[in-house]
Structure 1
Amino acid sequence: MSTYVLIHGGGDGGWSWHLVAAELRARGHEVVAPDLPGDDASATLTDYADAVVEAVGDRTDLVVVGHSFGGFTAPLVADRLAAGLLVMVAAMIPAPGESPGDWGSNTGCGEAVRAQAARDGGRTGHADPFVGFYHDVPRPLAEKALSKERAHPSPAAMREPWPLDAWPDIPTRFVLCREDRCFPPDFLRGLAAERLGLVPDEIAAGHCVALSRPTELADLLESYR
């Protein structure tokens, strides 16, 4: 039995993982999916990592999973807790000293979004969250997710340089969503190769894969163990 540590993305809370968590618990694992500090303009990346570490407590055999903006927090947690595995799901991949606020311009994400939008009729990067984020999530579930939206990350966290000197020396996998309208698939394939030296595993889903394809995502996570 492992403990899965599930770290949510921007605007989300631990609830965003509830379907995946149920799948993993049904397979005999423990799951920790905390709410990171929200509605706190001074909260830092270190504060986010602290909140996860506190929630994990003395649990062992850890698989740390970060989604989207959680990619800035998950490696910090995995490094501090000496996790056995780190999994990035449709996630931002930080470089040492890079702030989240600079990540988009440093990586060329904005240009990639505009290029993909030109090819798909403007669906990528669309301002309507039901188009740009939740397009493959059942509408009632997407509406519930929006009702739980929080002010996270904070302005302070967006300005903070990522504090690690290098990527943690921990086995790392990357899950790419082929229908992602937030981070275009071709963009993330290139970034995973450049920054992690990885070929991602791919799943037919949009950005919010934990809500749209929870069983398939749980299957993939389990295959890594």
Structure 2
Amino acid sequence: MSSSSMLPAAATAASKRLILVHGTGHGGWCWYKVATLLRAAGHRVDAPDMAASGADARPLRDAPTFEDYSRPLLDALRALPPGEKAVLVGHSFGGMSVALAAEEFPDKVAAAVFLTAFMPDCAHPRTHTIEALPAGLDWMDSVTDEGHAPPSVFLGPQFLRRMLYQLCPEEDYTLSQSLARVSSYYVADQRRRPPFSADRYGAVSKVYVVAKQDLAMVEQYQRQMIASVPVAEVREMAGADHMAMLSAPEVLAGHLADIANTYA
């Protein structure tokens, strides 16, 4: 982490806007450590709940499409003052929402950051990167319901503890057990959409942050996505599991502050 990233607000040269997007079954709450550090450094940080996630009271059936699910992020970009841009940070499935936002509002995105996240390309269907997840992943006690509208997934407590939170403090795992919710990958809905376009999503600067100790989206899979999508830079977090914002918050906040200062 650079020595300047976490300076007090009074010492920062300029405040940057970052929007942090959570992954499946989670909410804006999972960013509480990183958001606090970035705000202490003088940055403006939003960590919205996607629809039917976190503290958003709607049931999943009230977010039937991926665009419905991602609307809080789209609305946040739409509400930016003219000429202002934000650095978008997508974690895990949040990378798909960031890609959609970059497709819809490329002129409002300073950079799209993918933190051990799904990063789609412009050559294949939008779901290609999700469907390319290694088949050997053990979902353990997670529960899927293809008959639900939209098809739902609930990440089980054993799966979370062993595959996503294995390096996280116990209290953060305990927090997840109070706040985790049923969600969806919206695969069928996204299959009906055209690929992301090269002149919109493809034109936005992208940064990939590799979590080297991720047991679910393993490093090899992350590298496969990086090889298929032009990125401005790749950063690595050696001691981070899938929930890098909880297992290595100071290091991640330093990377995000540096990225914001570079691209915003």
Partner of 1:66: 90
TM-score scaled by length of structure 1: 0.83
Distance in 1 between residues matched to 2:226 and 2:51, nearest whole Å: 28
Partner of 2:55: none
Partner of 1:118: none
Asked if the contact 1:37–1:152 (Cα under 8 Å) also holds between the matched residues in 2, the reply is no
Asked if the contact 1:189–1:200 (Cα under 8 Å) also holds between the matched residues in 2, the reply is no
CA positional deviation for 1:47: 1.8
**3-state SS of paired residue (1:151):** coil
Asked if the contact 1:7–1:66 (Cα under 8 Å) also holds between the matched residues in 2, the reply is yes
Distance in 2 between residues matched to 1:108 and 1:53, nearest whole Å: 26
Distance in 2 between residues matched to 1:78 and 1:22, nearest whole Å: 25
Query: Which residues in structure 2 correspond to 1:173-188 (within 5 Å)?
Result: 173-188=207-222
Q: Which has the higher helix share?
A: 1
CA positional deviation for 1:61: 3.1
Distance in 2 between residues matched to 1:27 and 1:139, nearest whole Å: 27
Partner of 2:247: 212
CA positional deviation for 1:127: 4.9
- Which of these two proteins has the greater Rg computed from alpha carbons? 2
CA positional deviation for 1:170: 1.2
Partner of 2:29: 15
CA positional deviation for 1:134: 0.5
Residue 25 (str. 1) matches residue 35 (str. 2):
no
2:255 corresponds to which letter in structure 1? Answer: L
1:165 corresponds to which letter in structure 2? Answer: S
Query: Which residues in structure 2 correspond to 1:49-60 (within 5 Å)?
Result: 49-56=70-77, 57-59=79-81, 60=84
Q: CA RMSD in A?
A: 2.3
Q: Deviation string for 1:96-136 (max 9, x for gaps)?
A: 56354x5444x25224x47xxxxxxxxxxx95321111111
Residue 141 (str. 1) matches residue 172 (str. 2):
yes
1:4 corresponds to which letter in structure 2? Answer: L
Partner of 1:119: none
TM-score scaled by length of structure 2: 0.72
Asked if the contact 2:103–2:197 (Cα under 8 Å) also holds between the matched residues in 1, the reply is no
Distance in 2 between residues matched to 1:5 and 1:108, nearest whole Å: 26
Q: Deviation string for 1:57-85 (max 9, x for gaps)?
A: 22523100100001111022134332111
Partner of 2:7: none
Partner of 2:141: none
Over 4 Å off, 4+ runs: none
Partner of 1:110: 135
Query: Which residues in structure 2 correspond to 1:92-131 (within 5 Å)?
Result: 92-96=118-122, 98-100=125-127, 103-105=129-131, 107-111=132-136, 113=137, 127-131=158-162
Asked if the contact 2:210–2:236 (Cα under 8 Å) also holds between the matched residues in 1, the reply is yes
Asked if the contact 1:177–1:205 (Cα under 8 Å) also holds between the matched residues in 2, the reply is yes
Distance in 1 between residues matched to 2:130 and 2:256, nearest whole Å: 27
Partner of 1:40: 60
Asked if the contact 1:14–1:34 (Cα under 8 Å) also holds between the matched residues in 2, the reply is yes
Equivalent residue in structure 2 for 1:158, among 187, 193, 206: 187
1:98 corresponds to which letter in structure 2? Answer: P
Unmatched segments (≥5 aa) in structure 1: 115-125
**3-state SS of paired residue (2:227):** helix
**3-state SS of paired residue (1:128):** helix
Distance in 2 between residues matched to 1:66 and 1:99, nearest whole Å: 16
CA positional deviation for 1:197: 5.3
CA positional deviation for 1:52: 1.0
